[in-house]
Structure 1
Amino acid sequence: MDKVTTRENLTWNNEFWENPWDQGGLAVISLFIIMIFFLVMFAIVFGLLPLPEKVNECEED
């Protein structure tokens, strides 16, 4: 019984990797997830940085 299910799983797995549309879809989904991850990290890093102090030109004189 295990040999039958393993053979069916291998067939489906090989069919998936041979189809370029499935590979492209996987690449697009992966890039989308990575982009969201980097945007969240960007927001966290720059949200934690302190704001630069503004220099008032009138006070310098």
Structure 2
Amino acid sequence: MDRLLTRRAWKDEFWQNPWDQGGLAVICLFITTVLFLTLFAILFGLLPPLDRVNPCEES
């Protein structure tokens, strides 16, 4: 029982430390950025390129 209370106290102590919270936020932002860039690359890699028409060659 004592071990359970010390484990809970350690978890409570973790959330009180702003450096731990900041580190967790940076890790989450990094993972989110990597996932967003991967999704961006997949999305625009699958779309076909647009056909561009040069107005000078259209006569």
Partner residue, 1:45: 43
CA RMSD of aligned residues (A): 1.1
SS class of match (1:21): helix
| Identity of matched residues, % | 53
Alignment TM-score, normalising by the size of structure 1:
0.85
Partner residue, 2:20: 22
Gaps of 5+ in 1: none
Q: Which amino acid aligns with 2:17?
A: N
Q: 4+ residue runs of structure 1 moved beyond 4 angstroms?
A: none
CA distance in 2, matches of 1:23, 1:15: 11
CA distance in 2, matches of 1:37, 1:4: 41
Gaps of 5+ in 2: none
